[in-house]
């Protein structure tokens, strides 16, 4: 239902808020909301970057693990023979 709000409706809501709370308080609330959204986006990007780094670390660890048993199998057959 909120997705159907157009710019005219939002403008009317902002004017009503300005009349109720005063222009300075609405400006302060908008600034706080904007900085909160900015912080959230930065943290989300940081979390995505951490996840990508962890995935790369896991991939390299899996490749190293896959290579290690192959070489150790060859070593064990040499010592058995």
74 in a structural domain: no
- How far apart, in whole angstroms, are the C-alpha atoms of residue 74 and residue 77? 5
Question: 25-70, pLDDT tens digit by residue?
Answer: 888 988 999 999 999 999 999 888 887 777 777 767 676 666 665 5
Q: How many domains does the chain have?
A: 1
Predicted local distance difference test score (pLDDT) of residue 81: 47
Predicted local distance difference test score (pLDDT) of residue 12: 92
81 in a structural domain: no
What is the secondary structure of 14-39 as a DSSP string? Answer: HHHHHHHH-HHHHHHHHHHHHHHHHH
68 in a structural domain: no
pTM: 0.47
Predicted local distance difference test score (pLDDT) of residue 68: 63
9 in a structural domain: no
Mean pLDDT across 13-20: 88
Query: Is residue 80 over pLDDT 70?
Result: no
Q: Which domain holds residue 52?
A: 18-62
Predicted local distance difference test score (pLDDT) of residue 77: 53
Predicted local distance difference test score (pLDDT) of residue 53: 75
Which residues neighbour 53 within 8 Å (Cβ) at sequence distance 6 or greater?
none
């Amino acid at each position: 239902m909120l997705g159907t709000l157009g710019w005219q409706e939002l403008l009317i809501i902002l004017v009503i808020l300005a009349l109720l709370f005063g222009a300075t308080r609405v400006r302060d609330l908008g600034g706080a909301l904007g900085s909160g959204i900015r912080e959230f986006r930065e943290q989300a990007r940081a979390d995505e970057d951490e996840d990508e780094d962890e995935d790369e670390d896991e991939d390299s660890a899996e490749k190293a693990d896959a290579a290690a048993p192959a070489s150790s199998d060859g070593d064990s057959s040499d010592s058995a023979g």
